[in-house]
Amino acid sequence: MLLNDTRYRSYTFQVIALFLLILFMAFLGWNLVRNLADLGQDISFAFLGEPAGYDINQRPIPYNNQDSHLRAAFVGVLNTLIVAFLGCVTATILGTIAGVLRLSNNWLVAKLMAAYVEAFRNVPVLIWILIIFFIMTAALPAPSAFRGADPDQTMLFGAMAATNRGVYVPEPVLGPGGWLFVAVFLASVAGVFAYRRFATKLLYDTGRDLPRGWPSLAILVVPSLVVWLLFSLTAGSAQNALLVPEGAGGQTLEDYVMAEGGATLCLVDGASSSTVAKTALLRLQAAARSGPVDDRVNLNIRTNRVESRAAAVAAFEEGQCNLLAVPQEAAANIAAGATLETQLREGRPIEWDKPYLSGFNFSDGVQVRGSLIALWFALAIYTGAFIAENVRAGIQAIPRGQTEAAASLGLRPGRIMNLVILPQALRIIIPPVISQYLNLTKNSSLAIAVGYMDVTGTLGGITLNQTGRAIESILMLMLFYLIISLSISAVMNVFNNAVRLKER
Choose among 441, 448, 439: nearest CA to 484: 441
Q: pTM of the prediction?
A: 0.77
Least confident of 149-153, 342-346, 352-356: 342-346
> Rounded to an integer, what distance in angstroms lies between the CA atom of residue 278 and that of residue 261?
16
**The pLDDT of residue 468 is above 50:** yes
Cβ-Cβ contacts under 8 Å for 84 (sequence gap 6 or more): 440, 441, 444, 484
Predicted pLDDT of residue 403: 80
**The pLDDT of residue 440 is above 90:** yes
Predicted pLDDT of residue 237: 54
Choose among 160, 189, 132: nearest CA to 380: 132
Give the containing element (helix H, strand E) for 325.
strand 324-327
Phi, psi angle pair for 333, to nearest 5°: -85, 0
**The pLDDT of residue 294 is above 50:** no
More confident position, 277 or 314: 314
Least confident of 95-99, 312-316, 451-455: 312-316
Choose among 293, 296, 290: nearest CA to 258: 296
Predicted pLDDT of residue 86: 93
Choose among 437, 453, 454: nearest CA to 496: 437
Predicted pLDDT of residue 314: 77
pLDDT digit string (tens) for 10-62?
Answer: 777 788 888 899 999 888 888 877 877 777 777 778 888 888 888 888 888 88
> Predicted confidence band at 295 (pLDDT cuts at 50, 70, 90)?
very low
Local structure of residue 300 (DSSP, 8 states) = E
Q: Are 132 and 446 in contact (CB under 8 A)?
A: no
pLDDT digit string (tens) for 346-395?
Answer: 556 777 777 877 667 777 778 888 889 999 999 999 999 999 999 998 88
Burial category of 466 from C-beta neighbours within 10 Å (exposed 0-12, middle 13-18, buried 19 and up) = middle
The per-residue pLDDT of the chain, averaged, comes to: 79
What proportion of the chain, given as a percentage, has pLDDT over 90? 16
Query: Which residues are paired to 402 by β-bridges?
Result: none
More confident position, 328 or 322: 322
Predicted pLDDT of residue 389: 92
More confident position, 301 or 190: 190
> Rounded to an integer, what distance in angstroms lies between the CA atom of residue 424 and that of residue 489?
21
Choose among 107, 169, 111, 115: nearest CA to 362: 169
More confident position, 441 or 250: 441
Predicted pLDDT of residue 376: 93
Predicted pLDDT of residue 296: 40
Predicted pLDDT of residue 39: 73
> Predicted confidence band at 437 (pLDDT cuts at 50, 70, 90)?
very high
Mean pLDDT of all residues in 308-321? 75
Predicted pLDDT of residue 297: 44
pLDDT digit string (tens) for 393-425?
Answer: 888 888 888 888 888 888 787 778 877 888 888
> Predicted confidence band at 293 (pLDDT cuts at 50, 70, 90)?
very low
Predicted pLDDT of residue 127: 92
More confident position, 330 or 1: 330
Predicted pLDDT of residue 494: 83
Mean pLDDT of all residues in 322-347? 65
What are the C-alpha distances in Å from 120 to residues 136, 142, 229, 250, 397?
18, 29, 47, 65, 24
Predicted pLDDT of residue 168: 86
pLDDT digit string (tens) for 179-232?
Answer: 888 888 999 999 998 888 888 888 777 877 778 888 888 888 888 888 887 777
Of the segments 259-268, 419-428, 483-492, which one has the largest average pLDDT value?
A: 483-492
Predicted pLDDT of residue 5: 64
Least confident of 83-97, 150-164, 407-421: 150-164
